[in-house]
Amino acid sequence: MTAIDGHGGELALAALRAFGVDELFTLSGGHVFPLYDAAHSTGLRIVDVRHEQSAVFAAEAVAKLRRRPGLAVLTAGPGVTNGVSGLTSAFFNASPVVVLGGRAPAFRWGAGSLQEMDHLPLVAPVTKEAVTVFDTDEIVAALHKAATTALTAHRGPVFLDFPLEVIFGAGRGELPAVQIPVIEPDPDEVAKAAGLIAAAQRPVIIAGSDVYGGDAIDALRAAAEALRVPVFTNGMGRGALPAGHPLGFAKARRVALGGADLVVVVGTPLDFRLGFGDFGEAKVVHVVDAPSQRATHVEPAVSPAGDLRAILTGFADHTGPREDHEDWIATLRQAEEKARARDAEAMASDADPILPARVYGELRQVLDADAVTIGDGGDFVSYAGKYLEPTTPGSWLDPGPYGCLGTGMGYALGARVSYPDRQVCVLMGDGAAGFSLMDVESLVRQKLPVVIVVGNNGIWGLEKHPMRAMYGYDVAADLQPGLRYDEVVKALGGAGETVSAPSGIGPALRRAFDSGVPYLVNVLTDPADAYPRSSNLA
């Protein structure tokens, strides 16, 4: 235990520093000045934005990428309400985000202070913990507990607010050692699951974000290699088995799920992205990082719960008899190669107007292996998921199952602050761009270069095409065609250009990555092109 004293802001940041927090994202408000004062005097980096949602999305990117708390500081009332979509995304994504809110003074609560509202009922349903700290002497303990909760599987965001007199007041606290509880899995369940995989004829593993969040990427690879099981990934799990790994697959999913006799889903929910866990005749093993994550709408053969590293290592260490999966792996490899050839053709398309596939064909040639790519949009981002193949785990950021448009600039900020030397590239729909482009100013002013590629089809494509298919017409789905989003970025101090011919994409992307400033490549794409999908609502 280390004793610390100071004002409320100093106590709060000292507690979070112990968890590796070394920056905060915010938009100014007097209710939280002591947190700025503490950051200013201790050298904790302050990154400020133009809308609170960007602050929380930035904190979420840090939490996702670095597996430690990402911190956003929001002023009382509207600051907090503007951050609610970010908190909700973090909740859906199991991101260990800490949001600190200002709060009107407690001593005259009810008298009508500026921005006086009780935030807790709003944020409680989308956080693991939401508390008001009423005593300056309790700040250190409250923050230590909150950060520990955020980092304990199943991870997620926490929210604390501080009445004005509490955060401005002086106090003291004792800083305990950081210790994140680990949930030990039931060894019988682990053994049962490993036995099922070994005995299966055609097993498949699908691994998701919690595998990265739980630092279990190596254990996943070891389990797959030991039991010879093909692996598909989603979310932050992408890149776990990089392209070229004999058990890594991305494009043969339909063949795999159609033919599998056992589907092992690790670290991701059995939600709409996975057909709600209905894999026909195949048995299901659902591996989760906490018992709370066991599916209630399907009955898996077994659902080991707890530390993913321990569970996957248990799989790797399985010693019983095992079936030979080599024919199955060869079948999937054939399907994978066929799909890869089809994709390569699409990505080379000379079609005019430009197809999104070509944008990704060009982008793949300029991206480094460890580039962080971020998707924010509809169809344009579905194509990014299809055509971009991250080879470094924890380098792909999508909004996750909450599907919130507007994450792009915040995620880019968080990624750039996390990795000053890696490429950071945001793929944005033109609709999505409208939510956050003003935060290019935050990037410019704070010298945080990123490349923004807008797939500019002049429509809310992922809504327009389905509505037309359903009703034969569409409303509220058009945007102004041909808009110069690159000029917006230029006006804010960055750079950019518009591309309308396929041959222009590659050179523009190279200029963008070489520029060293926020740079928007505005690619005019074909509004008639719709991402082929079977359903998008349920």
Ligand X SMILES: Cc1ncc(C[n+]2csc(CCOP(=O)(O)OP(=O)(O)O)c2C)c(N)n1
- Could you tell me the smallest distance in angstroms from the CB atom of residue 90 to ligand X? 15
C-alpha closest to that of 183 among 296, 318, 313, 288: 288
**DSSP designation for 185:** P
Q: In what order do the strands lie in the sheet with 519-524?
A: 396-397, 372-376, 424-429, 451-456, 519-524, 495-499
Return the structure tokens found at 490: 């230029």
**Smallest separation (angstroms) from Mg ion to the CB of 408:** 13
Residue 98: contacted member of ligand X, Mg ion, none (CB under 5 to 8 Å, by partner type): none
328 interface partner picked from Mg ion, ligand X, none, CB below 5 to 8 A per type: none
Minimal distance, residue 429 CB to Mg ion, in Å: 4
Report the site for ligand X in 261-290 (rule: CB under 6 A): none
Q: How many residues bind Mg ion (CB under 5 A)?
A: 5
Choose the contact partner of 462 out of Mg ion, ligand X, none; CB within 5 to 8 A by kind: ligand X
29 binds, options ligand X, Mg ion, none, Cβ within 5 to 8 A by partner type: none
Q: For residue 369, count other CB atoms closer than 10 A to its CB.
A: 12
Q: Is 430 in the site for Mg ion (CB under 5 A)?
A: yes
Looking at beta carbons only, is 419 or 531 nearer to Mg ion? 531
Q: Which is nearer to ligand X, 378 or 390 (CB)?
A: 378
Subset of 378-407 contacting ligand X (CB under 6 A):
378-380, 403-406
When the beta carbons of 96 and 461 are compared against Mg ion, the nearer one is: 461
| Cβ atoms of residues 315 and 227 within 8 Å | yes
Supply the DSSP symbol for 176.
P
**Cβ distance to ligand X smaller for residue 224 or 459:** 459
Instruction: Tell which positions 464-503 bind ligand X, by CB under 6 A.
Output: none
Nearer to ligand X, 168 or 380 (CB): 380
Q: Which stretch binds Mg ion (CB under 5 A): 338-346, 367-375, 421-429, 496-504?
A: 421-429
SS3 83: coil
Determine the distance from the C-alpha atom of residue 458 to the mean position of all C-alpha atoms in its chain, rounded to a whole number. Answer: 26
Q: Which does 300 bind (CB under 5 to 8 A by kind): Mg ion, ligand X, none?
A: none
Count of residues engaged in binding ligand X, rule: CB under 6 A: 19
231-233: strand order across its sheet: 231-233, 203-207, 262-266, 283-287
φ/ψ (deg, to 5) at 160:
-130, 140
Residue nearest to Mg ion according to CB distances in the complex: 429
**End-to-end Cα separation, the chain, in angstroms:** 50
**Residue number with the smallest Cβ distance to ligand X:** 429
Strand pairing partners for 375?
Answer: 427
Structure tokens at 430: 């033109």
Residue 461 binding Mg ion, by CB under 5 A: yes
Q: Which stretch binds ligand X (CB under 6 A): 73-81, 110-118, 373-381, 438-446?
A: 373-381
Query: By CB under 6 A, is residue 82 in contact with ligand X?
Result: no
Pairing of strands 170-175, 2-7: antiparallel
Give me 139's structure tokens: 């700040």
Nearest Cα residue to 271 out of 302, 236, 299, 298: 298
Euclidean distance between CA atoms 505 and 529, whole angstroms: 18
For the chain, helix (H) and strand (E) counts, in that order, are: 22, 18
Whichever of 293 and 373 has its CB closer to ligand X, that residue is 373
- Plot region of 449 (φ>0 → left; ψ -120 to 50 → alpha; else → beta): beta
Please state, in angstroms and as integers, the Cα–Cα distance from residue 320 to each residue in 219, 284, 313, following that order: 19, 20, 15
Contact between residue 419 and residue 448 where contact means Cβ atoms under 8 Å apart:
no
SS (H, E, C) 413-430: HHHHHHCCCCCEEEEEEH
| Contact positions with ligand X (CB under 6 A) in 426-465 | 429-432, 455, 457, 459-463
- Looking at the Cβ atoms of 156 and 377, the one nearer to ligand X is 377
Q: Which residue has the tokens 């909150």?
A: 146
Using rule CB under 6 A, residue 83 touches ligand X: no
Question: H or E segment at 472?
Answer: none
Nearer to Mg ion, 400 or 431 (CB): 431
Count of CB atoms situated within 10 Å of the CB of 206: 25
Q: Does 411 bind ligand X (CB under 6 A)?
A: no
**Least separation in angstroms between CB 63 and ligand X:** 20
Three-class DSSP category at 140: helix
Which residue stretch of 92-100, 214-222, 415-423, 427-435 sits at the interface with Mg ion (rule: CB under 5 A)? 427-435
Pick 300 or 378: Cβ nearer ligand X: 378
72 vs 433, beta carbon nearer ligand X: 433
> Shortest distance, CB of residue 521 to Mg ion, whole angstroms?
15
Tell me, rounded to whole angstroms, the distance of Cα 471 from its chain centroid: 33
Looking at the Cβ atoms of 221 and 465, the one nearer to ligand X is 465
Residue from the set 75, 234, 395, 457 that interacts with Mg ion by CB under 5 A:
457
| Nearer CB in complex with ligand X: 55/190 | 55
> Which range of residues in 199-207, 281-289, 443-451, 458-466 is near Mg ion by CB under 5 A?
458-466
CA–CA dist 247, 316 (Å, integer): 14
Residues that bind Mg ion (CB under 5 A): 429-431, 457, 461
Residues that bind ligand X (CB under 6 A): 377-380, 403-406, 429-432, 455, 457, 459-463
